[in-house]
């Protein structure tokens, strides 16, 4: 307000600005008009003079023409000599520097004015002024007079040509005389030839030097509306009238005046008028200022002053009608008084209204915090505190403006009110809760104030807090439940989803809220993959608790699938109306997998028990078969054909034996019973066995010097068979399996996963099948992992187990082009490992020994007895460990003690070898006891020394190995004794 | 308050007016002192026109170091008094250089007055050897009589001329005597000197008889173009059919305009090649026709060339209005002009080729460089 000017100042300023502008525009227009009029005057003056010059120039140039024309008429047709004499006489009366001459038919000068006769005979006929068609030539320097001249030509006869060179200086006096009568100061007459060369100019040097003035006239323009041309010559501007002469043709006459004097004259003429106008305008301005001030600005000021003293809402008369002095303004004053009364009435009504509110209403200054208004509600609580500081009166313990003051939220960046701020607050005096609606409003005087309407919400707040706490408890409970929980409304839209459900579905609470349940809880049938019914719809439809069907798969947001079990229940309100659905579900995937594994394991276990039982009996049977075949083959009376047949039967029995070993390994696992052997034979036998009759062949690359390895041939055969079977199945259309063996040193192989041994035999089995997917390679040895539709997932797991128990390593990698490569590393045999040193052949018995055999199977006892008797030993038989112990004790003190005991490992229902060995050794620590069992993979068989045995025999017995073990023990015992 | 505002507005208007009326940079003045009204003055018109055209072009291109050029033309009237008057007027006008004069004699007269006032003097119309080899403020784009004499002697030998008569206009005695003497240094044949004063009344019959009396093999006319034009008519009228040789002094359209068919076959010894096909020369020639309604002449082209050389020197001069700075700038490099490449030796004398110019079919044609 302080920056605003009073009305009187505005009126004065605008008035003088307008007058100044009008004066400037008028002055400019008058100046232009005067200048144009000045140009017109100049043009009018010059026009008369140039006309005189125009008519004068031909007269001056042709001044002698009349006289010569008369002579030419007189001599027409006369003798040449006479003509030349008459012309000679006439030429004596020429102006100074004029030269005249006559050319003959050859163009040579036959007559020339006095003073130039030395040029008689000279031929100028080729020169431009003679040859040109114009009667009057341009200005040129005469060859004779060396002065600027124009030439006039007259034909005297057919042969004679009269040329009159008129010195241009001879026309100058007349033109100079003309200039003396000039009307305008600095006006000048200029005469140029058609080439622009000066003929006449006040500067005579230009004439003498035949200056080309047209070249020097720069920025040539015109004519304008006054007929004037303008140009710049030697940096001065000129106006000129221009006339092109007919005689001489092309000559141009200029009558010029400098532009500057014209402008100065115009300025002088205009300045006086402008001064008069300025005086007039100033007088008018002062008069208008007085009138406007007296009858407009003064009443307005009176109204303004009266309004300044007016307090809105107060009952008062603002302005007396006569104070304005003008009828119209008196009416305005009456209208203001009426409006002030209306404002008072409205204010009273407003106060009553605000006082009647059951809420606190107060207004405070936003800068000084002074309370400007407080309604009745406020006054009853805080007293009449209007005029006090709000943070001191409405609050307590405040050291300054309240930290929770909302003033800064009520104005935008430009300081303008920005709406209502609603907030809740607990008053520091009453401790009551209020919902406050704050806004900035304009108060009297235009200042911005803060108005707050605060409604007591203490009761509501308490109820809301209780409800919120209840809600929080419920939410925490739901989110803490170990199962997935989703609640929906009756439309099936998700309301809540707990943390477990978030993990299972892949949707967070924020993402899922408001979405359709089917979108978040995407369930399908495990086998059919069909969408399951929306459980929320089902619950709402039935009003009952529903469970999901079995084999329900929940597909999470990231595509992960999980088997779930769930149930849905309606959420009921107090009136038992359904207000939503709650779904509870859990991840059953692991549980189902464990169940499946358990089932599978149980199946395997039962099969293993069955296989073990069968194998045990089968071994005993095979022992009898093999033993008897061996014995039969030792009969010298057997024919060769029978011997071949027996040999075939023996081989078949040996294969049956190996099969039994596999069955046992499959059934029980267990430690391998290792013996030093060449892996080559195992590989070839196993591969040929598997590939027999198939369209897959096997190519071997096995060196002769392949080292021996300590292997359980049965288990290792199982490994090779499994790998070959896999390779074969990978090539259903046939192909070739490549098996490569070589000896490797630890140092020669990079990243060899073995470290304990330094020498290995490496077996590489490579097929040409499609290969194993890269993502499956790392899991290929996991139990129950299979890429086949009907695979058990145990084959390669068993391979891994067997090779590892042999101290070796098995790995898989994709082939260079396709197919799969399995690589097995097996440590070098504990023996020196060189091939060809395998114990074969028969060791002779060192003596006829007393040997006791303990077994529960009569067939085994019978065959073993026959085999040992055949080798010359005396054989005692025992059916269990108790009997064996008794027999051993009986013979121990006798002269014929038992030299060797062969005991079955287990005796159903009685003491087996495992227990009996301890008892016998207790009697005779030097006792030599061999354990025999069909369970070649039993840990006792592998580590018989740990249990007190001296050797192990695997059922079924073959004659040669049997003798070799028995006689080796006897031989060693015999050596000890000696 | 209101009055204060009105005063402020008037002050602003006055300030604007003052800025508008700010004094422009003074133009650089170059003097041109030549014969315009004396005998042979018509040739001066070409010099003046060529120089005016060059100045106009340079100003249109922005002038020299932001300053326009102003050519002050003075008529020396081909007289000693006129020369002194013209040069003094230019010196008083504080020109940065004076181009002049039209003849060797006039140049020699003006030389001490101009260079004595520490003003650089340059001419394309002075051949006297009296100004050759001087370390001074005098420059010229025309070759000197020493070269002319040597080349003229070479031309005479080439044409197999055994004797020669000289027509010598003694109004330019310094040139004609110098020229004839330099020819004599290199020419072994008989030489006859016929002298006259062109300012006096010339008895052409007698002069031509004197020239032809020794039956010369060739006539060398050491006269300006209009004198040569008249003279060649008279010797041809006397029946002389041998070679008539002129100098660059004669190389003007006036020779052919005034002399007519009698000039046919004449040879001129000149450094201005008439068949100049340089694009800038053709442009210059075209503008001469357009602006002055006349063809480009040797004199006009020399004047045009000199203005551009001066402007170039002024642009490169350390101090723009110092004659010695201008001199150093002119000496330090070559110039590429409409007439070809040229340079000044350490004394300000030009080094450029010389040609035989022949009048053929009413036109000047190039007869080849005289080696």
Over residues B52-61, mean pLDDT? 94
Distance (Å, whole) CA A222 – CA A228: 6
Instruction: Say what the pLDDT of residue A754 is.
Output: 56
Instruction: Say what the pLDDT of residue A835 is.
Output: 42
Distance (Å, whole) CA B295 – CA B281: 12
Which residues of chain B make contact with A208, given a CB cutoff of 8 A? Answer: 36-37, 75
CB pairs below 8 Å between A and B: how many? Answer: 83
Mutant choice from B2, B17, B69, B225 vs A, greatest count of A C-beta within 10 A: B2
Determine, for residues A124 and B6 on separate chains, whether the beta-carbon distance falls below 8 Å.
no
Determine, for residues B201 and A12 on separate chains, whether the beta-carbon distance falls below 8 Å.
no
Rounded to the nearest angstrom, the gap between the alpha carbon of residue A327 and the centroid of all alpha carbons in its chain is 76
Instruction: Say what the pLDDT of residue B15 is.
Output: 52
Q: Does B262 touch chain A (CB under 8 A)?
A: yes
The residue in chain A having the minimum alpha-carbon distance to the alpha carbon of residue B225 is A143
The residue in chain A having the minimum alpha-carbon distance to the alpha carbon of residue B262 is A123
Determine, for residues B49 and A196 on separate chains, whether the beta-carbon distance falls below 8 Å.
no
Determine, for residues A208 and B44 on separate chains, whether the beta-carbon distance falls below 8 Å.
no
Instruction: Say what the pLDDT of residue B96 is.
Output: 95
Hey, how many other C-beta atoms are within 10 angstroms of the C-beta on A131?
12
Distance (Å, whole) CA A910 – CA A631: 30
Determine, for residues B292 and A212 on separate chains, whether the beta-carbon distance falls below 8 Å.
yes
Concatenated DSSP letters of A217-235: -EEEE---TTS-EEEEETT
Q: Which of B73, B237, B293 sits opposite A195 (nearest CB)?
A: B293
Determine, for residues B41 and A141 on separate chains, whether the beta-carbon distance falls below 8 Å.
yes
Rounded to the nearest angstrom, the gap between the alpha carbon of residue A666 and the centroid of all alpha carbons in its chain is 57
Instruction: Say what the pLDDT of residue B241 is.
Output: 94
Which residues of chain A make contact with B202, given a CB cutoff of 8 A? Answer: 118
Length of chain A: 978
Instruction: Say what the pLDDT of residue B76 is.
Output: 92
Which of A911-943 are b and which e, b meaning 16 or more Cβ less than 10 Å from the residue's Cβ?
A: bbbbebbebbeeebeebbbbbbbbbbbbebbbe
The residue in chain A having the minimum alpha-carbon distance to the alpha carbon of residue B230 is A122
pLDDT reading at B95 higher than 90:
yes
- For residue A244, the distance in angstroms to the closest alpha carbon of chain B comes to 18
Q: What is the DSSP letter of A248?
A: T
Q: Which of B226, B233, B291 sits opposite A123 (nearest CB)?
A: B233
Determine, for residues A141 and B292 on separate chains, whether the beta-carbon distance falls below 8 Å.
no
ipTM score over 0.95, yes or no: no
For residue A279, give the 3-state DSSP assignment.
helix
Question: Mean pLDDT of successive 10-residue segments in chain A (978 residues)?
Answer: 70 82 84 81 80 82 84 84 87 85 93 91 90 80 86 88 88 78 78 85 84 86 87 87 81 87 78 82 83 81 80 74 74 84 86 89 92 91 91 89 91 89 89 92 85 92 88 81 89 90 91 92 87 87 80 88 87 87 87 74 68 75 84 82 86 77 61 79 87 88 89 84 89 90 73 62 91 78 70 75 84 84 87 45 76 89 87 90 91 88 87 90 91 78 85 82 86 74
- For residue B357, the distance in angstroms to the closest alpha carbon of chain A comes to 22
The residue in chain B having the minimum alpha-carbon distance to the alpha carbon of residue A196 is B292
- For residue B261, the distance in angstroms to the closest alpha carbon of chain A comes to 8
Which residues of chain A make contact with B41, given a CB cutoff of 8 A? Answer: 141, 146, 209
Instruction: Say what the pLDDT of residue B20 is.
Output: 46
Question: Could you check whether the bond before residue A248 is cis, i.e. omega within 30 degrees of 0?
Answer: yes
- For residue B232, the distance in angstroms to the closest alpha carbon of chain A comes to 10
CB A711 within 8 Å of CB A826: yes
- For residue B294, the distance in angstroms to the closest alpha carbon of chain A comes to 9
Q: Which of B48, B56, B237 sits opposite A121 (nearest CB)?
A: B237
Which residues of chain B make contact with A118, given a CB cutoff of 8 A? Answer: 201-205
Distance (Å, whole) CA B168 – CA B231: 11
Mutant choice from A108, A122, A201, A232 vs B, greatest count of B C-beta within 10 A: A122
Distance (Å, whole) CA B1 – CA A637: 159
CB B194 within 8 Å of CB B170: no
Over residues B121-133, mean pLDDT? 93
- For residue B42, the distance in angstroms to the closest alpha carbon of chain A comes to 6
Mutant choice from B257, B291, B361 vs A, greatest count of A C-beta within 10 A: B257
Give the B window 184-213 contacts with A, CB below 8 Å.
Answer: 201-205
Q: Which of B2, B56, B226 sits opposite A12 (nearest CB)?
A: B2
Instruction: Say what the pLDDT of residue A834 is.
Output: 43
pLDDT tens string B269-303: 999 998 899 999 999 999 999 988 888 988 999 99
Q: Per DSSP, which regions of A377-470 are E strands?
A: 421-426, 433-442, 448-456
- For residue A126, the distance in angstroms to the closest alpha carbon of chain B comes to 6
Q: Which of A13, A128, A211 sits opposite B2 (nearest CB)?
A: A13
Q: Does B295 touch chain A (CB under 8 A)?
A: no
Residue with tokens 């190996």: A658
Which residues of chain B make contact with A209, given a CB cutoff of 8 A? Answer: 36-37, 41, 44-45, 48, 73, 75
pLDDT-based confidence at residue B18 (cuts at 50, 70, 90)? very low
Which residues of chain B make contact with A196, given a CB cutoff of 8 A? Answer: 292-293
Q: Per DSSP, which regions of A721-819 are E strands?
A: 735-745, 759-766, 809-814
CB A111 within 8 Å of CB B227: no
Which residues of chain B make contact with A19, given a CB cutoff of 8 A? Answer: none
pTM of the model: 0.48
Residue with tokens 């098996």: A739
The residue in chain A having the minimum alpha-carbon distance to the alpha carbon of residue B228 is A143
HEC assignment per residue over chain B: CHHHHHHHHHHHHHHHHHHHCCCCCCCEEEEEEECCCCCCHHHHHHHHHHHHHHHHHHHHCCCECCECEEEEEEECCCCHHHHHHHHHHHHHCCCCEEEECCCHHHHHHHHHHHHHCCCEEEECCCCCHHHCCCCCCEEECCCCHHHHHHHHHHHHHHHCCCEEEEEEEHHHHHHHHHHHHHHHHHCCCEEEEEEECCCCCCCHHHHHHHHHCCCCCEEEEECCHHHHHHHHHHHHHCCCCCCEEEEHHHCCHHHHHHHHHHHCCCEEEECCCCCCCCHHHHHHHHHHHHHHCCCCCHHHHHHHHHHHHHHHHHHHCCCCCCHHHHHHHHHCCCEEECCEEEEECCCCCEECCCEEEEEECCEEEEEEECC
Instruction: Say what the pLDDT of residue A805 is.
Output: 80
Which residues of chain A make contact with B238, given a CB cutoff of 8 A? Answer: none
- Mark out chain A residues that contact chain B at CB-CB < 8 A: 9, 12-13, 16, 20, 115, 118-119, 121-128, 140-141, 143, 146-147, 195-196, 205, 208-212, 215-216
pLDDT tens string B4-15: 555 555 555 555
């Amino acid at each position: 307000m302080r920056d605003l000017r009073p009305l009187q100042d505005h009126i004065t300023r605008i008035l003088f600005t307008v007058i100044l502008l009008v004066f400037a525009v008028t002055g400019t227009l008058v100046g232009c008009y005067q200048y144009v009029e000045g140009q017109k005057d100049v043009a009018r003056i010059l026009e008369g003079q140039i006309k005189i010059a125009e008519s004068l120039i031909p007269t001056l140039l042709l001044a002698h023409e009349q006289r010569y024309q008369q002579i030419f008429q007189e001599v027409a047709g006369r003798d040449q000599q006479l003509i030349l004499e008459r012309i000679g006489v006439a030429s004596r009366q020429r102006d100074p520097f004029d030269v005249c001459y006559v050319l003959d038919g050859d163009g040579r000068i036959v007559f020339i004015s006095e003073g130039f006769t030395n040029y008689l005979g000279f031929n100028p006929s080729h020169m431009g002024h003679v040859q040109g068609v114009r009667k009057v030539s341009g200005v040129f320097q005469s060859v004779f007079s060396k002065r600027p001249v124009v030439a006039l030509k007259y034909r005297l006869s057919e042969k004679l040509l009269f040329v009159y060179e008129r010195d241009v200086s001879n026309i100058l006096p007349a033109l100079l005389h003309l200039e003396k009568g000039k009307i305008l100061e600095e006006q000048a007459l200029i005469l140029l030839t058609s080439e622009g060369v000066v003929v006449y100019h006040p500067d005579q040097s230009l004439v003498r030097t035949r200056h080309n003035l047209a070249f020097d006239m720069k920025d040539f323009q015109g004519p304008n509306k006054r007929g004037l041309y303008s140009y710049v010559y030697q940096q001065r501007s000129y106006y000129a009238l221009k006339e092109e002469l007919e005689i001489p043709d092309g000559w141009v006459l200029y009558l010029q005046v400098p532009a500057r004097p014209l402008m100065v004259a115009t300025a002088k003429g205009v300045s006086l008028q402008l001064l008069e106008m300025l005086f007039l305008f100033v007088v008018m301005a002062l008069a208008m200022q007085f009138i406007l001030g007296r009858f407009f600005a003064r009443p307005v000021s009176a109204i303004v002053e009266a309004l300044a003293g007016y307090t809105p809402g107060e009952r008062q008369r603002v302005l007396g009608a006569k104070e304005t002095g003008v009828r119209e303004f008196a009416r305005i004053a009456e209208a203001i008084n009426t409006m002030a009364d209306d404002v008072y009435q409205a204010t009273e009504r407003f106060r009553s209204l605000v006082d009647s509110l059951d809420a606190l209403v107060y207004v405070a200054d936003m800068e000084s915090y002074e309370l400007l208004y407080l309604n009745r509600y406020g006054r009853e609580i805080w007293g009449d505190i209007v005029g006090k500081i709000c943070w001191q009166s409405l609050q307590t313990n405040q050291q300054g403006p309240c930290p929770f003051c909302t003033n800064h939220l009520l104005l935008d960046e430009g300081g303008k009110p920005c709406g209502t701020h609603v907030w809740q607050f607990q008053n520091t005096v009453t401790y009551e809760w209020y919902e406050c609606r704050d806004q900035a409003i304009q108060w009297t005087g235009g200042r911005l104030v803060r108005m707050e309407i605060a409604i007591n919400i203490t009761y509501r707040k308490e109820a809301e807090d209780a409800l919120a706490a209840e809600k929080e408890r419920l939410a925490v409970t739901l989110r803490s439940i170990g199962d997935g929980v989703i609640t929906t409304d009756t439309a099936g839209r998700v309301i809540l989803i707990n943390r477990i459900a978030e993990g299972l579905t892949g949707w967070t609470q924020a993402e899922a809220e408001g979405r359709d349940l089917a979108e978040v809880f995407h369930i399908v049938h495990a086998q059919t993959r069909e969408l399951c019914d929306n459980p929320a719809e089902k619950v709402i439809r039935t009003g009952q608790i529903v469970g999901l069907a079995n084999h329900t798969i929940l597909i999470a947001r990231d595509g992960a699938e999980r088997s779930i079990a769930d149930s849905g229940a309606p959420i009921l309100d107090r009136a038992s109306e359904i207000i939503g659905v709650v779904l509870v579900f859990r991840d059953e995937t692991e549980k189902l997998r464990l169940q499946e594994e358990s089932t599978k394991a149980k199946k395997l276990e039962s099969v293993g028990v069955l296989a073990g039982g069968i194998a045990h009996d089968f071994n005993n049977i095979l022992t009898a078969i093999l033993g008897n075949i061996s014995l039969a083959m030792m009969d010298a009376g057997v024919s060769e054909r029978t011997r071949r047949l027996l040999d075939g039967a023996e081989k078949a029995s040996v294969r049956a034996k190996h099969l039994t070993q596999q069955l046992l390994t499959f059934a029980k696992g267990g430690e391998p019973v290792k013996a030093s052997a060449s892996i080559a034979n195992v590989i070839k036998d196993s591969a040929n066995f598997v590939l027999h009759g198939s369209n897959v062949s096997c190519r071997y690359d096995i060196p002769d010097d392949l080292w021996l390895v300590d292997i359980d041939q049965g288990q290792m055969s199982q490994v090779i068979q499994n790998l070959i079977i896999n390779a074969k199945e990978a090539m259903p259309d046939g192909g070739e399996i490549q098996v490569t063996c070589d000896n490797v040193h630890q140092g020669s192989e990079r990243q060899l996963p073995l470290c304990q041994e330094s020498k290995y035999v490496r077996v590489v089995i490579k097929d040409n099948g499609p290969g194993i997917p890269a993502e499956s390679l790392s899991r290929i040895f996991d139990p129950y992992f299979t890429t086949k539709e009907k695979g058990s997932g145990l084959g390669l797991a068993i391979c891994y187990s067997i090779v590892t128990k042999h101290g070796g390593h098995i790995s898989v990698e994709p082939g260079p082009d396709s197919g799969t490569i399995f690589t097995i590393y097996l440590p070098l045999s504990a023996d020196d490992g060189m091939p060809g040193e395998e114990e074969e052949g028969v060791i002779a018995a060192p003596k006829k020994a007393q040997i006791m055999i303990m077994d529960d199977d009569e067939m085994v006892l019978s065959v073993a007895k026959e085999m040992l008797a055949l080798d010359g030993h005396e054989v005692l038989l025992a059916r269990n460990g108790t009997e064996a112990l008794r027999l051993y004790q009986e013979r121990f003190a006798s002269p014929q003690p038992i030299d060797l005991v062969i005991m079955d490992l287990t005796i159903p229902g009685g003491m087996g070898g495992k227990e009996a060995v301890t008892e016998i050794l207790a009697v005779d620590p030097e006792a030599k006891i061999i354990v025999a069992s069909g369970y070649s993979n039993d840990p006792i068989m592998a580590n018989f020394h740990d249990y007190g045995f001296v050797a192990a025999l695997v059922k079924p017995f073959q004659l040669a190995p049997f003798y070799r073990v028995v006689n080796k023990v006897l031989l060693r015992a015999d050596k000890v004794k000696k | 308050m209101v009055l204060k505002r009105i005063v402020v507005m008037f002050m602003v208007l006055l300030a604007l007016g003052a800025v508008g009326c700010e004094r422009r940079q003074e133009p650089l003045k170059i003097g041109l002192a030549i014969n315009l009204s004396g005998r042979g003055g018509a040739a001066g018109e070409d010099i003046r026109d060529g120089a005016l055209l060059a100045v106009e072009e340079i100003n249109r291109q922005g002038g020299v170091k932001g300053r326009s050029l102003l050519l002050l033309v003075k008529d020396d009237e081909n007289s000693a008094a006129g020369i002194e008057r013209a040069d003094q007027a230019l010196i008083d006008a504080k020109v940065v250089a004076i181009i002049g004069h039209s003849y060797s004699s006039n140049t020699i007269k003006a030389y001490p007055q101009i260079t004595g006032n520490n003003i650089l003097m340059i001419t394309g119309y002075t051949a006297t050897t009296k100004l050759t080899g001087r370390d001074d403020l005098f420059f010229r784009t025309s070759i000197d009589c020493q070269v002319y004499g040597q080349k003229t002697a070479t031309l005479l030998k080439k044409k197999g001329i055994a004797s020669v008569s000289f027509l010598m206009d003694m109004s330019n005695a310094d040139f004609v005597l110098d020229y004839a003497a330099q020819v004599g240094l290199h020419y072994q044949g008989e030489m006859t000197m016929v002298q006259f004063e062109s300012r006096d009344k010339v008895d052409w019959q007698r002069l031509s008889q004197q020239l032809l009396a020794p039956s010369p093999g060739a006539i060398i006319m050491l006269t300006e173009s209009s004198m040569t034009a008249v003279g060649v008519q008279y010797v041809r009228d006397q029946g002389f059919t041998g070679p008539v040789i002129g100098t660059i002094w004669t190389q003007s359209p006036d020779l052919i305009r005034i002399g007519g068919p009698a000039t046919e076959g004449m040879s001129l010894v000149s450094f201005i090649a008439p068949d100049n096909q340089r694009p800038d020369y053709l442009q210059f020639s075209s503008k001469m026709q357009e602006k002055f309604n006349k063809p480009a002449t040797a004199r006009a082209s020399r004047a045009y060339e000199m203005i551009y050389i001066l402007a170039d020197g002024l642009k490169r001069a350390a101090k723009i209005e110092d004659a010695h700075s201008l001199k150093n700038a002119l000496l330090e490099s070559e110039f590429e002009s409409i007439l070809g490449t040229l340079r000044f030796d350490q004394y300000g004398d030009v080094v450029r080729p010389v040609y035989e110019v022949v009048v053929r079919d009413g036109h000047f044609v190039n007869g080849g460089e005289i080696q």
